[in-house]
Amino acid sequence: MGAGHAWQRVCRVDDLQRSGAIEFNLDGTACFVISLNGLIAAYVNRCPHLGIELNWMPGRFFDLERTFIQCATHGALFTPDRGTCIAGPCQGDALSPLEWTLADGAVLVRMPV
């Protein structure tokens, strides 16, 4: 079993729910986890079209209405549940999801197998 597939603890669920989004590093890859309108999802922090990180400000990933994940550079919008780009230069493309689970009040993530 590769170390890349081990579960990693990211944060407490309450902290995620309070802040909405938390950035972390998984095996050297910048990632983030979100809690938005009752949904939790985790993605690699990399836009599918330029390969750059989505946010400028730490932990800021949402559009003004807090409905979508937004690329701070281009305003592209991604659905929070699947990471699909619905507006912007990478429309039709999608963010790379991570697997996540909850254990003892904490959020754990790992790279998909």
Interface residues with ligand FES (CB under 6 A) are 47, 49-50, 52, 71, 73-74, 76, 88-90
Nearer to ligand FES, 47 or 98 (CB): 47
- Compute φ and ψ for 15, nearest 5 degrees: -65, -40
Report the nearest approach of ligand FES to the CB of residue 61 (Å): 12
Who contacts 79 (Cβ-Cβ below 8 Å, separation ≥6)? 68, 69, 86
Report the nearest approach of ligand FES to the CB of residue 4 (Å): 25
Report the nearest approach of ligand FES to the CB of residue 21 (Å): 17
Nearer to ligand FES, 10 or 21 (CB): 21
Nearer to ligand FES, 10 or 85 (CB): 85
Report the nearest approach of ligand FES to the CB of residue 25 (Å): 20
Nearer to ligand FES, 49 or 60 (CB): 49
